[in-house]
Amino acid sequence: MPGLHVTTEQRYSTLLQQVIFAPNLNAREEFLAEAFELGRGALSQDAIPPDELVAIHHNAILCFSQKNPDMKLCDVVDLLTLPLIEMSMAYGMSFREQLEKQYRALLDKRLQESHRLEAVGTLAAGIAHEFNNLLCSIIGFSELAFEGLSDEEPAKESIQQVLVASLRARDLVSTMLQLARKNSGLPSEEIDLISEINSVIKLVDVREKKLEINFSSGVPNAFITAKPGQIQQIILNLCINAADAMEHCGTIDINIESTTSDECLTGVGESAICITISDQGTGIPPEVQEQIFNPFFTTKEPGKGTGLGLSVVHRMVEDLGGRILVESRTTGGNNGTDFRIILPFVDKDKRGTSCQKKCSLYKAHNHGG
Amino acid sequence: MAHILVIDDEFQIRQLVTRMLETDGHMVTTASNGAEGLRLFQQERPDLIITDLIMPELEGLEVINRIKKNNDNVPILAMSGGGHHCRRDVILHVSELFGAKAVLPKPFTRSELMQAIVVALS
C-alpha cells in the first residue's frame, strides 16, 4: 500500500517535528503519544513492516537535523526514540498475541478433529450391532442365491455385485470401529517387520495383477512393538493408496532401514526404523497434503474411497509412538509420493528384559481379572 | 452330519444359518432367545450349539455359563456383531473364557461359518 505508506511517513515525520518544537511538556507528551499511536496502528494493520518503520523514524530524524543544524543530534535522538521503543514493545506484545491466537486455533482444530473422531466412534459403536446383523443377512442370502443360480442366469452377476458391495460395507464398519478405538484389546507384542511386510505383499499381489512391488531391507532384522495386525493394516492401506495413485499399473517400492536422522527421530526415541513406501503416481498437491490424514477426506471418486484409510494409518502410527512423513512431487517428470513411517526400534540387546517384563505384567493382569 | 441348535433373536439370522446348515446336510433346531435355547438343549441334546451373544431376556454368555456349569461338554460356537456397550472382539474373547469352543464375528460368509463349525466340532 504505497499511498498509505507515504502518508504515514509524512505524518510521522511531522509529528516528530512537533515533538521537538512543542511549546510545553504536555503538548510534547501528546505529540509523542500520537506518534506512537500512528506507528502502532500501521504496524498492527501490517501496513508497514517493523524494519521499514525504523527506517522512516531514522529518516525523520535525519531530515529534522538537516533542517535544524543548530540542534544537537543526540538530544533529538534521545527525545524521539521514545515512541519507537514503545512501538517495538507494543509490536512484540501483539506478535506474541498473534502467536498465542495461532496456537489456540491449532489446538481448537486438533480438539475439533478429536471430537469428530469421538462422534464417529460413538456412531460406529451404536450402529455396529444392527449393521453387522443386517450385513450378515445380506451377505449370507446373496451367497445362497448366488450358489443356487446356474452360470447362464443374468441375475448371477448382479448378485455377485451385491456380495462385493456388502463385503466392502463390512470392511467399512470394521474400519470405523478401529478408528474409534485406540486399543484393539489385544496386548502388544514384538513384531517382525520383514515378515509382516512380506505377508502384505502377497495379499496385494493377489489383488493387483499389473502391479510390481519391490521390497528391500537395509537391516537383517527389524523388530518393533505393536498389536497383531496393526503393521499389516498400515502397510496395506498405503499400498492400496499407492496402487490407486498409479491406476493399478506400475511399481511400488518398499524399503526399511534403521535411521539416525534428527528429522525422523523427533519424538520417536533414540533409535528408530524407517519404512518408506514410494509410488510413481500423480503425486499429492501441497494444498491437499495438509488434509490427507483428516477423517473422511478423499480425492477418490464417490463410492471408491471412504476417506478413512490414511486417518486410520495416522492414528495407528501415533499409537505406536511413531511418526509419518509425506513427500510428494507433482511436477518435474519425477512424479510420485513417498510415505515414511518412523517407528521406535526394539533394541536387540534390551529385548529380553523388556519382553519379560511385559509378559509378567500381562500375566499379573490376567490373574487379577 | 450333526444336529445343531441355533440361538439368535434375529429371525433373519436364524433363517440364514438354518438354510446354510441344511444345505450342508445338518439337522437344525432354532430358538429365539437364551431361555428357549436352554429348554430345547435339554429336550433335544444337539451335537453343537451356535448362539448369538447379545440377546434380550437371557443372553448368550449366560447360556454358555449355565451349560458349562452343568459340566455339559457340548461344543458351543459363539457369534456376535457387538453391541452399543460391548465390543465384538471383546465379547467373543469373553465367550471363549466362558467355554465357547469357537467364535465367529458377524457378519460372516458361508465359508467362514463352515470353518468355525469344523473348529467347534473338532
CB contact under 8 A, B23 and A144: yes
pLDDT bracket for residue A14 (50, 70, 90): confident
ipTM of the complex: 0.83
CB contact under 8 A, A136 and B93: no
Smallest CA–CA separation between A222 and chain B, in Å? 29
Which of B10, B16, B21, B91 to mutate to probe the A interface, most A CBs <10 Å?
Answer: B16
Higher-confidence residue of A369 and A356: namely A356
- Mean pLDDT of all residues in A206-219: 82
pLDDT digits (tens, 9 = 90+) for B37-73: 999 999 999 999 999 998 888 889 889 989 988 888 8
CB contact under 8 A, A129 and B109: no
Higher-confidence residue of B101 and A71: namely B101
- Mean pLDDT of all residues in B82-98: 75
pLDDT digits (tens, 9 = 90+) for A283-340: 888 888 877 887 666 776 655 555 667 887 888 898 888 889 999 988 877 889 999 9
Question: Residue B12 is nearest to which of A129, A137, A170, comparing CB atoms?
Answer: A137
CB contact under 8 A, B107 and A133: yes
Which of B103, B106, B110 to mutate to probe the A interface, most A CBs <10 Å?
Answer: B106
Question: What pLDDT score does A368 carry?
Answer: 30
CB contacts < 8 Å between A and B, how many?
73
- How far are the Cα atoms of A93, A308, B29 from residue B64, in angstroms, in the given order? 68, 37, 17
CB contact under 8 A, A129 and B10: no
- Mean pLDDT of all residues in A73-99: 76
pLDDT digits (tens, 9 = 90+) for A215-271: 999 988 888 888 767 787 788 888 888 888 888 788 999 999 988 766 656 666 667
Q: With beta carbons less than 8 A apart as the criterion, state whether A176 and A120 touch.
A: yes
Distance CA A125, CA A144 (A): 29
- Mean pLDDT of all residues in A78-102: 77
As given in the structure block, the three cell numbers for residue A83 are 515512541
CB contact under 8 A, B107 and A136: yes
As given in the structure block, the three cell numbers for residue A33 are 503519544
Grid cell 460368509 is found at B109
In this predicted structure, the answer to whether residue A369 has a pLDDT above a threshold of 50 is no
CB contact under 8 A, A132 and B82: yes
pLDDT digits (tens, 9 = 90+) for A135-169: 999 999 999 999 999 999 989 989 988 998 888 88
In chain B, residues with a C-beta closer than 8 Å to the C-beta of A128 are 81-83, 88
- DSSP annotation of B28: E
Query: Is residue A21 within 8 angstroms of chain B, CB to CB?
Result: no
Rounded percentage of chain B residues whose pLDDT exceeds 70? 96
- Across A107-116, A190-199, A267-276, B34-43, least confident range: A107-116
As given in the structure block, the three cell numbers for residue A231 are 503393521
Return the residue of A nearest to B89 by Cα.
A185
- Ordered domains of chain A (ranges, CATH): 2-101 (no CATH), 116-180 (1.10.287.130), 189-368 (3.30.565.10)
In chain A, residues with a C-beta closer than 8 Å to the C-beta of B91 are none
- Of B42, B40, B20, the closest CA to residue B30 belongs to B40
- Mean pLDDT of all residues in A182-200: 74
Concatenating the DSSP letter of every residue in A65-87 gives HHH-TTS-HHHHHHHHHHHHHHH
Query: Is residue A119 within 8 angstroms of chain B, CB to CB?
Result: no
CB contact under 8 A, A177 and B87: yes
Higher-confidence residue of A285 and A2: namely A285
- Across A3-7, A57-61, A262-266, B113-117, least confident range: A3-7
* A111-120, A192-201, B36-45, B64-73 — most confident range: B36-45
CB contact under 8 A, B23 and A166: no
Question: What pLDDT score does A125 carry?
Answer: 67
Question: What pLDDT score does A267 carry?
Answer: 61
Alpha helices (runs of H) in chain B, residue ranges in sequence order: 11-23, 34-44, 60-69, 88-98, 110-121
Higher-confidence residue of A49 and B56: namely B56
CB contact under 8 A, B107 and A177: no
Mean pLDDT of chain B: 90
pLDDT digits (tens, 9 = 90+) for A330-361: 887 788 999 999 998 876 554 443 333 333 33
Question: What pLDDT score does B18 carry?
Answer: 96
- For residues A143-161, one letter each, b for 16 or more C-beta atoms within 10 angstroms of the residue's C-beta and e for the rest, the string is bebbeeeeeeeeeeeebee
- For residues B75-88, one letter each, b for 16 or more C-beta atoms within 10 angstroms of the residue's C-beta and e for the rest, the string is bbbbbbbbbeebbb
Query: Is residue A168 within 8 angstroms of chain B, CB to CB?
Result: no
Distance CA B104, CA B84 (A): 18
Return the residue of B nearest to A146 by Cα.
B110
